[in-house]
Amino acid sequence: MKLLGTDHVFTLADLKAHYDAIASYLHMPSLEQVQLGKGPDLAKLRERCEAIAGLVEKALSSRVWNSTFGVIATLDECINDECKKPIRKRMPSGKDTVDAQCFECKAEYTITTDQDGRVLWTPKLTCAPCSAPGCPERTTLWTHDVKPGTHWRCRGCGAHNRIVLSVSKFEDEDPAPAQS
């Protein structure tokens, strides 16, 4: 391990500690406050501003900032032919298997880690048969594409296939009542 530096952050607690005090100086004192000599204490304001400037300067001079440490699995390019974008996924500590999704095309993968620390990206795919009678051809679809409206041409017979949601006639004499 190598020390890279210290990350100094201007925190929400720092902001809360000074916000209201500074905000009160932004308002014009009332006529009554001016007459009673209760105007803003400029020495206190200067002191507060110097304290804030010190915190901001410390945060901006940090050698390390906005760093993320963790084990990241990277796929150089999505295997979806229409995408090819790189995918990165943080691997949670203690987990050997995690699901991942491409931000661009929504292709899904299962990432597994072996004993040597190598990762394997397995695409989540489904085989869909051709709808033409007697055609043995099958098409591979991403799991996120298995939904009504997805369509494709069969590579074997050229038939145009699509996934539909349908309702069919129930042949029984006394079907069970519909459930809502």
pLDDT in tens, 83-130: 999 999 998 888 889 999 999 999 999 999 888 878 999 999 999 999
Task: Report the SS3 class of residue 37.
Answer: coil
| CA 143 – CA 126 distance, rounded (Å) | 6
Cβ neighbours of residue 87 closer than 8 Å, sequence gap 6 or more: 74, 75, 78, 100, 102, 103, 109, 121
pTM summary value: 0.56
Whether 99 and 91 have beta carbons less than 8 Å apart is answered as no
User: Which residue type is seen at 98?
Assistant: V
Question: What are the domain boundaries of the chain?
Answer: 12-60, 71-123, 126-162
Q: Which tokens go with 63?
A: 């050698």
